[in-house]
Amino acid sequence: MHTPENINKEIYRLALPNIVSNFSIPLLGAVDTALMGRLESEYYLGAVGIGGILFSFIYWGFGFLRMATTGLTAQAFGEKDLSECGRLLLRAICIGITSSLFLFIFQWQLIDLSFLLIDASPEVEHFARAYFHIRLYAAPATLCLHAFHGVFLGLQNARYPMLLTVVVNLVNIALNLVFVRLLGMTVEGVALATVIAQYVGLFLAVLFFSRYYRGILPAWDLREILAFSRLKRFLNISGDIFIRTCFLVFSHAVFTAKSAALSDTVLAINTILLQFINLMSYAIDGLAFAAESLIGKYKGARDMSNLKGATRQIFFWSFLFGGVIMLIFMLFGERLLYLFTDQKPLIAQAKPYLIWIIVAPVVNVAAYIWDGIFLGATASKALRNSVMLSTLLFLGGVYLLMPFGNHGLWGALTLLLVARGVSLTVLAPKYLFKSGDSW
């Protein structure tokens, strides 16, 4: 059995690179926004904003390629079945490439459906469509990168995902500057930069894997890779995660729609405040990713003692980290608003709602960390059921609390996160800490 000190070292080793890589993600969006926001027309900014949202939903939906792969690889690693780790990579790549083909085939229907749901001006829609069709060429690389990230994390290696994420984002930013500032391109330049950067990342991922993990890659045997029992388990877990993700996307869409229904000002305020939530979630997800790797490894090794010990230590550090973020928001929240807008009237109207941002880092921790722990244990049905129940409570909260205005809407969103944390805490003894067949 590892001591708490040893477990803490494992947590640091896995969490710190994940936190660094997660923080590089918002930087890319900020650069895209700054470049488009300085062009002569506001249509470019709106087009990149809408295009970015579309791809966020698409790739968020395919997040199961990383999540399922991480948990299953970590368990195979714990069982010392390294050949299965290699097969999992090939399995996930096959699914990623197949999914990319479907995206290419149905791209016109997908973009048409998107603009039935999004009310945009003809000019913005024109540029957003151009951005979408160019950036879609990155889909095979992006989905295969999900697979590589999952396998690396499952192999207890957080350094390579960090390097891949940072390099991809830096290449993307550099190419954005070249295409837009030097070559005079607009949305096409931003989209093309993303495509090239994703393939650079895929090349690096293949290079890292072939150099350091080539020995775990079994001989190419399609029957082994697509073995029905193994593939069925992967797809079942992925299906549960996909459903969970759809409910989360739906909840955030409802929050945005209800914000807009209150007023344009409330929509603008909540868009800014959600940036705080996103930054916080990127930070705490570094610990959640570490949880996926460690819990999966201990489950694969059937090491209940260390699984419980790792859970305790991860929660300790997560709540401590959340407390630090809460203190930062409490002391500097108003000043941080100026990072997102220079409109003083808007900042003045946003200030009363900062209380929800201040409490969020501690209130939301349980949901984020349990997510990582359950994903590592591949307890996907519990995750799916938790989010479905929490979404129903959220919708009930929206209905009951909307008369209180924006405070009521934030109360409903907070209820969603609290319900996820509480329900997973209740389910943990059955799905995580019980030996026997459930393992």
* Percentage of the residues of the chain whose pLDDT score is greater than 70: 87
C-alpha to C-alpha distance for 195 and 184, rounded to whole angstroms: 18
Would you state the structure tokens that stand for residue 60, as one six-digit string?
């968020």
- Contacts for 64 with CB less than 8 Å, ≥ 6 apart: 237, 238, 239, 241, 242, 245
Q: Is the dihedral of CA 324, 327, 333, 339 positive or negative?
A: negative
Average pLDDT over residues 177-192: 86
Largest interatomic CA distance in the chain: 64
436 has a pLDDT exceeding 70: no
pTM of the model: 0.86
* Residue 301 · residue 79 · CB < 8 Å: yes
Give me the pLDDT at residue 125, please: 77
- Contacts for 94 with CB less than 8 Å, ≥ 6 apart: 225, 226
Q: Is the dihedral of CA 68, 70, 73, 79 positive or negative?
A: negative
Q: What is the pLDDT of residues 310-320, one digit of tens each?
A: 999 999 999 99
Task: Provide the residue ranges of all domains of the chain, joining segments of one domain with +.
Answer: 1-14+228-439, 39-226
C-alpha to C-alpha distance for 328 and 351, rounded to whole angstroms: 15
Average pLDDT over residues 227-253: 86
Give me the pLDDT at residue 273, please: 84
CB burial of residue 227 (10 Å; 0-12, 13-18, 19+): middle
Burial 135-161 (b: 16+ CB within 10 A, else e): bbbbbbbbbbbbbbbbbbbbbbbbbbb
Q: What is the pLDDT of residues 328-365, one digit of tens each?
A: 999 988 888 877 666 788 788 888 999 999 999 999 99
* Percentage of the residues of the chain whose pLDDT score is greater than 90: 46
Q: Which of 136, 140, 131, 142 is nearest to 168 (CA)?
A: 142
CA-to-CA dists, residue 84 to 25, 62, 67, 87, angstroms:
31, 22, 16, 5
C-alpha to C-alpha distance for 203 and 111, rounded to whole angstroms: 29
Which DSSP category does 41 fall into? Answer: -
Would you state the structure tokens that stand for residue 394, as one six-digit string?
């959220």
Q: What is the pLDDT of residues 249-307, one digit of tens each?
A: 888 878 877 887 888 778 778 877 887 888 888 888 889 999 999 999 999 999 898 89
* Residue 56 · residue 32 · CB < 8 Å: no
Would you state the structure tokens that stand for residue 260, as one six-digit string?
């807009």
CB burial of residue 331 (10 Å; 0-12, 13-18, 19+): exposed
Q: What is the pLDDT of residues 32-56, one digit of tens each?
A: 656 665 666 656 666 666 677 777 7
Give the 3-state secondary structure of residue 411: helix
